[in-house]
Structure 1
Amino acid sequence: MKRTLLAVLGAISLSACAQAPEADATGTPLKAPVVSSPMLPATPEPAEGTPEARALAAVRTLNPNLQPEQIGAAPLPGFREVIVSGQVVYVSDDGRYMFLPGQGGALYDTVSERSLSEASLAGLRRDLLKTIPASERIVFAPANPKYTVTVFTDVECGYCRRLHSEIAEYNQQGIAIEYLAFPRMGIGSEDYNKMVAVWCASDRKQALTDAKAEKSVPEHDCKNTVSMQYNIGQRAGLTGTPMILTEDGTQVGGYVPPAALRETLDKLAAEKAEPAAVGNAAPGGNAAAGG
């Protein structure tokens, strides 16, 4: 979750290929003008024990090297407004909660170090994924997978290609990959047509592997669910590919290397098991029953 928040703040890359940029009437992508500006002095450290100091400490739970440009009163009571890496973050005066508005934003609890928004989003994603038949997924799985993840993918995305080139390593880590289509350039694009050809191929796994290796896949059209998968990806909040989702709908990437993904999935499983273990513990510990 920290990686996602840092990506929103512009502090790191989520290792994902973005959707197609806006274009002009001729289809040429619009480019922002390059503007140079002088370096500004760093914001002074706020006085210890103040709401501003707690806000700064909260932001730095994500990354101790983050340097805000501005900290001040927020337009809503009980919060400070922090501007960091060109993004606005609202932090509760006690420093516990951070709210990142806008696309990809979240309400983050700095004590439990989790997104309070993610649970709702995960539930939505889980329900959306259930609407896609298993027969419409392209699956690469080991014999007895420990975990199964859904990956929204695009055949032309560099990070998607990198992930697929390591598919055997994911399987060796006990991870099954279930691919869904998300042509980043949009429905009707050349990218979309390539993905339709993959999903209409008699051997989808080989066709997907060939397409990601820039090999020719015979054009073929059929009744398919590529558009449906694309629309579900948008409704699930996808902003770039690959997007990796756990079975309960939690987003764990962006591109994540095989060993790191296994580590993340193990951690999530342990966190989920911990409350259950506490709830099942008998009051008073393990004292033996008297006779």
Structure 2
Amino acid sequence: MTQKTELEILLAVVDHGNFSAAARVLGYTPSAVGKRVYQLEQKLRVPLLVRSTRRMTLTEAGQRYVGEARDILARLTALEEDIADDTGNLRGPIRLTSSAALGQLHVVPLVIEFMELNPEVEIELLLTDKIVDLVGEGFDIAVRSGVLPDSSLVLRKLTNNRRVPCAAPAYLEQHGVPQRPVDLTTHKCLRLGQEKQLSDWGFIRTTGGVSRLGPGFSCNSLDALHAACRAGRGIAWLPEFLISHDLKTGRLHSVLPDHTEPSAGGGIFILRPEMPYLPRRVRALSDYLADRFTEKATGSFA
């Protein structure tokens, strides 16, 4: 192994807390990770880690070494990127994650386009509606929608994430069209997870409003709610990126448009960990997604 690999392994152990977690990210066995860290300690003639059954912490010497090592590794990466720039080709791995529905509809096609333009870039994409620890699980960037909490991650807004209360024509013909948010207490409502508060559906808060939705169907999948809504099973609050074609073709109708906050739903964002040096391939993919989402914002998202 090269010195760079030893640094990467040590930093992975520090960032992920133990040999097993670092091994999963690096694709090695825990024993191989432990052996290489031990060899590095033997080379330096000083212990770098305090081992425990749950988590490993740095010794005083380890803290000094890791602080310098991060800077050295960042500068080495920058040098390699600069040399790669001379060829005009992007190369190397990118780990990307996105929520499932947004990813399938819009991220996957753009990633495929990007790989066709940059065949030496290797992208690993994870589609999941679970919140992913980007640093802990070794991801370079994420594409997420919603109202995001403050965090240590770097955020870049791609476009708005307008959500629309909607239902199938067959449902509205059978159950009537709600005229006020309070009318939803008597309608079948399709909820994401266990959300029940009307504020979660982006309605303008007024006095005399209702605090709960009518009983219906709840699920942790936007795709499943979309399918249930199109099948006439009730009223749902769905992102426009998912239902724009249904609204245009009349397969779904929006309801209560005069009672919905225009900014409800937050936005669609790129998130990435804060780092001293952003690899050129990661920056290029971020820029490509931002440019293409800007184009789409004048179409299906707006």
TM-score over 0.5 (shorter chain)? no
TM-score range, shorter chain: under 0.3
When the two structures are superposed, what TM-score results if normalisation uses the length of structure 2? 0.23
Under a length normalisation based on structure 1, what TM-score does the superposition of the two structures give? Answer: 0.24
Greater C-alpha Rg = 2
